[in-house]
Amino acid sequence: MDFVDRTVRDIRRLKIQGAFHIALAAIKAFSLAKDKRKAARKLLASRPTEPMLRNSLKYLEKNPNTKTLIAKLKIDQEKIVKYALEKVPKKGIVYTHCHSSTVNEILKKAKHKGKNFLVNVTETRPFYQGRMTAKELTRAKIPVIVFVDSAARLAMKKADVMFIGADAITAEGIVINKMGSELMADVANHYEIPVYVCTHSWKFDPRTAFGFEEKIEKRATKEIWKNPPHGVHISNYVFEKVDPNKITAIISELGVFKPEAFVEEVRKNYKWMFN
């Protein structure tokens, strides 16, 4: 098994998680592949809901310097953290769902800057990525409370802000993120808590500007229930759509924008995506 195949396997088995890390892993695998076209095809097939992976490989078709691209993405990540820091309360409660490397970097940086806050996180079934978030943040000396998903109201009730990542963003400004994200945004809206999506703008899917629908990944039902009774059907969609009207702003390397304005900024700054 070569490096590309190992990378594809690790992405599919969720050993590599998070759209940003998946894109970085794909870029590295692509750079080491002898047959670039074959490698791109395999990597693109690894996860259906991954615009950042697709955009990164498309960028490399015209700009094959992977070191330059990785450096750019890391600088962009620093910009996202810088913009989002202003939204982290000096004291109070931050709510998040699932595991976002970008959100975690924001919170760790905020702690380093002297902000003292508590993080409430929902566990996020079936793989409990909320526990990953909790482990990472507690290592940074950030206090965390983990709630079961059905306790979202309690997790959110006293929060000052909600931060989530994104796996895809459509031309309509719809954010696609881990299952439960719109439910949590509904609860936040009910309590008038601002909802910020912290993400790289390359999560935008340019195909949606031409009428294509963003495919929502569906995984094996055994992840939910290995041996359900006869007649019981299992739904295991990984992601769901978050209505842009429920989102306060999208924070990316381009700045802090309402979803519709964010889409226009992507069009203006990355015209190559639409070619």
Catalytic residue numbers read 167
Assess contact for 266 and 255: CB atoms under 8 A. no
Cα–Cα distances (Å) from 263 to 131, 161, 177, 228, in that order, read 32, 23, 17, 42
**DSSP H/E element including 121:** strand 116-122
Give the whole-angstrom CA distance, residue 254 versus residue 271: 14
Sheet strands side by side (includes 249-252): 144-147, 116-122, 91-97, 161-164, 195-198, 249-252, 255-257
Round to the nearest angstrom and report the end-to-end CA distance of the chain: 34
Give the whole-angstrom CA distance, residue 177 versus residue 172: 15
Give the whole-angstrom CA distance, residue 86 versus residue 171: 27
